[in-house]
Amino acid sequence: MPAIVELNNVVKEYPLGKLVVTALHDVSIAITKGEFTAIAGPSGSGKTTILNMIGCMDVPTTGTVKIDGTLTNNLDDHALTTLRLNRIGFIFQSFNLVNVLDVRQNVEFPLLLQGKLSSKDRKLRVEEMVEKVGLTKQMTQRPNELSGGQRQRVAIARALVTNPAIVLADEPTANLDSTTGHAIIELMRDLNANDHTTFIFSTHDPKVMERATRLIMVADGKVV
Amino acid sequence: MGMLILIAYRNLVQARRRTLLLSAAIGLVTTLLVLLLSLSQGISDNLVKSATTLSAGHVVVAGFFKPSPSQAIPMVTDAGKVRAVIEKETPNLDYIIARGRGWGKIVGPGGTVQTGLSGVTLVNEPRFVATLQLAEQLEYKEGGEARILGDSTRIGSPGSVILFANQAKRLEVDVGDAVTFITETNDGRTNTIDLTVVAVARDLGMLSSWSVLVNMESLRKVYKLSDDTTGAFWVYVKDIDKADEVMNGLRVSLAQAGFQLMDHDPNPFFFKFETVAGEDWTGQKLDVTIWRDEVSFLVKILDAFDLVTVFISAVLLIIIAIGISNTMFNTVRERTREIGTMRAIGIQRGSVLLLFLLEASLLGLFATTVGAVAGAALSVGIDLAAFPVPIPALKAILLSDTVHMTVRLSTLLMSVVFLTVCTGLAALWPSFRAARMRPIVALGYVS
Ligand SMILES: Nc1ncnc2c1ncn2[C@@H]1O[C@H](COP(=O)(O)OP(=O)(O)O)[C@@H](O)[C@H]1O
Ligand SMILES: [Mg+2]
């Protein structure tokens, strides 16, 4: 099966004043469709930087990144944004919902940006997703009325509503207690198992790593 | 787009205190602008009213007769023929008034006033004479009664004059008293005539200092004018906004009818004596103007007022714009992570720009609408209250004894649209800043 994510000899450098910090040294990773991949490593090891490369949020200094067959290196901001909208779902450590929108509107947001579905189909799709994450009763509540775990469920629904090729989650359980965090990982695992959505998430929690079908360990900007 | 409006709106509601504070500032500026514009419009209305009552018709057909190259008399010879052309060639003609013109001094026990003379023929304009508002005695005489003494229709009898309150006050005369008019006649000699005050009219702004109404026969006598002459035809049309068109049309028609015409000079006739007297021609030339030309010196005052309005508004606008811009920078800073999140999810830069511009414009629209309604209500209130103007100089500028304000829907709409656009523009820079942010920076992954 061809890889859905391909990082080849990726080097990422950040300018830091007059110095240059090398966040990634020659990283090569290939991930196939349907995998439930954990990127693990200590703080500062380069997990976020790798996810940013895969998520088309940034491009490498040297080396190539290929997402679902598309090389990102030479894409401009507009093209990268379009790629993110259509191919990638994001789940954040601190949930990052739009505060002034309710659950339904938060989940609907990416669909509106895509503008592909009619309002009726959008409604059905949003309801289906919200049900999958178990928040049908909270449909019209705003994020500040929800618990952390519920908020992350909304974020998951929002990430998956467009049927993306890849869902990225940067330490999705770091802001949750261990029980809730575990439930979130289980939910992601279920969605992965049922819909074959590719999940890539970073963590430094060994219990979370256990649930992965594939584990990529990084340290000091290198895959080990 | 609908979602962006919703987000913008809800964020405004969320930041209620900030929104209200900024709205109050923008609203106040709108109110002030509407007040100033309504006052300006009120002055303009006063100007039109007093100008077209005391100094001109909507269009004026007048002219100069030069018996010798160095003499200029403000009159129209062959008046019957000129009137016929006007009657035939003026579209939507309402009515025509023929007024005699003179210029000189009036002497009374209290002093002298320099003034223009308007020769009135009662039978030709009963409507004007009837609607002329007369002053109560106490308005021009200290210790006078709250009673109107004169009768304006007596202007029909020879030797009669109607003064305005300010003149009666300066000359220290009352109804029934005699004054002397002194002028230079057509042949260059000084001539005088005694006139009896038959009524004292209420002042109509600044113009009433320079105008008295006198019986036409008496005017003819002083200036030794023949019957087929007049000073000027005041032409009134149905729509004053068409005055320019009518003026241009009449210039063509009169020229075609064989009359000599002066070039259009947008000034009152009494500014033109010297120029005309210095020109090397004799005989009759007609001068066609519109009301605005005859009060050009007052139009300049109004323009100055408008300039002040523009200046005040501009200064306030700049202050407000800085406030809006500053607030929007704060908003953008506070919502940096939200911007990053939305960018990650797939919103384009242009939409982020739009989001913040919408937010500012929505605020602007709300604030300016409230401000404009308040301004309109205040203006109407002030107008109805008819506050007397205490200072004479201010009376001159306002062209009225009471504060008159005219609210126009177009003024309100213009103010709302203009200030809303300004609010949007003030938010442009912070909105661009928001749109240009890189998503990884906005999300705080990278500094
Ligand atoms: N904008 C930046 N400027 C300088 N150094 C950076 C920047 N972003 C990340 N780094 C460095 O890159 C390395 C990897 O960071 P990161 O990918 O955030 O690690 P992790 O997510 O595993 O904690 C760290 O050493 C970090 O200090
Ligand atoms: Mg990290």
- Closest residue of chain B to A107, computed from CA coordinates: B345
A145-161 tens-digit pLDDT = 999 999 999 999 999 99
State residue B188's pLDDT score. Answer: 67
Tens digits of residue pLDDT in B256-277: 999 999 999 998 888 888 888 8
Mean pLDDT in residue range B308-327: 92
Residue of B389, B422, B424 lying closest to B405 (CA atoms)? B389
Residue B187: the pLDDT is 64
pLDDT of B3 higher than 80:
yes
Which ligand 1 atom sits closest to the C-alpha of A22?
A: 12
CA of B343 to the centre of ligand 1 (A): 20
Asked, for residue A17, whether it belongs to a domain, the answer is no
Bridge partners for A218 per DSSP:
A223
What spacing in Å lies between the alpha carbon of A83 and ligand 2's midpoint? 22
A121: in domain: yes
pLDDT in tens, B83-133: 999 999 999 898 898 899 888 899 999 999 988 888 988 887 777 777 788
**Does residue B290 surpass a pLDDT of 70?**
yes
Following DSSP, what letter does each residue of B327-381 receive, concatenated? HHHHHHHHTHHHHHHHHHHT--HHHHHHHHHHHHHHHHHHHHHHHHHHHHHHHHH
Q: If residue B100 lies in a helix (H) or strand (E), which one and from where to where?
A: strand B93-108
Domain count, chain A: 1
**Range with top average pLDDT, A1-5, A40-44, B204-208, B271-275:** A40-44
User: E strand or H helix at A84, and its extent?
Assistant: helix A77-87
A98 touches chain B (CB under 8 A): yes
Count of beta carbons in the 10 Å neighbourhood of residue A162: 22
* pLDDT, mean of residues B389-413: 83
Domain contains A7: no
Between B36 and B209, name the one with better pLDDT: B36
Q: A149 lies in a domain?
A: yes
Tokens of B239: 């729509």
Instruction: Sheet containing A62-67: give its strands across.
Output: A19-32, A3-16, A62-67, A70-71
Please tell me which of the candidates B10, B337, B438 has its beta carbon nearest to residue A100. Answer: B10
- Please report whether residue A66 resides in a domain: no
Q: Does some domain include residue A27? A: no
Is residue A97 situated within a structural domain? Answer: yes
What CATH number has the domain bearing residue A108?
3.40.50.300
Statement: residue A50 has pLDDT above 90: yes
Q: A7 - beta bridge partners? A: A29, A65
Tokens describing residue A78: 């507009």
Tell which of B3, B345, B354, B437 to mutate to test the A interface (max A CBs under 10 Å).
B345
From the CA of B446, which ligand is nearest? 1
Assess whether the C-beta atom of A14 lies below 6 angstroms from ligand 1: yes
User: When comparing pLDDT for B125 and A23, which is higher?
Assistant: A23
The span from the CA of B135 to the CA of B163, in Å, is: 10
Quick check: CB of A186 below 6 Å from ligand 1? no
Q: Are A81 and B3 in contact (CB < 8 Å)?
A: no
Chain A hits for B341, CB-CB cut-off 8 Å, are 90, 92, 96-98
In a domain, A131, yes or no: yes
Strand A214-219 relative to strand A222-223, pairing? antiparallel
Q: Which residues of A touch B2 (CB under 8 A)?
A: 112
> What three-state secondary structure class fits B402?
strand
Range of the domain at A211: 33-60+76-223
pLDDT at B232: 92
What count of CB pairs under 8 Å joins A to B?
73
In the predicted structure, residue A118 carries a pLDDT above the cut 90: yes
Which residue's CA is the nearest one to ligand 1's atom 26?
Answer: A44
Question: Is residue B430 scored above 90 in pLDDT?
Answer: yes
Nearest CA in chain A to B445: A48
Q: Where are the alpha helices (DSSP H) in B257-348?
A: 273-278, 291-294, 296-334, 336-345
Judging contacts by C-beta atoms under 8 Å, the chain A residues touching residue B435 are none
Counting ligand 1 atoms within 8 A of each CB, the residue from A14, A18, A20, A27 with the most, and so the one to mutate, is A14
How far is the C-alpha of A168 from the C-alpha of A179, rounded, in Å? 21
From edge to edge, which strands make up the β-sheet containing A88-91?
A: A88-91, A166-170, A198-203, A36-40, A214-219, A222-223
**pTM greater than 0.95:** no
User: Which chain B residues are Cβ-neighbours of A90 within 8 angstroms?
Assistant: 341, 344-345
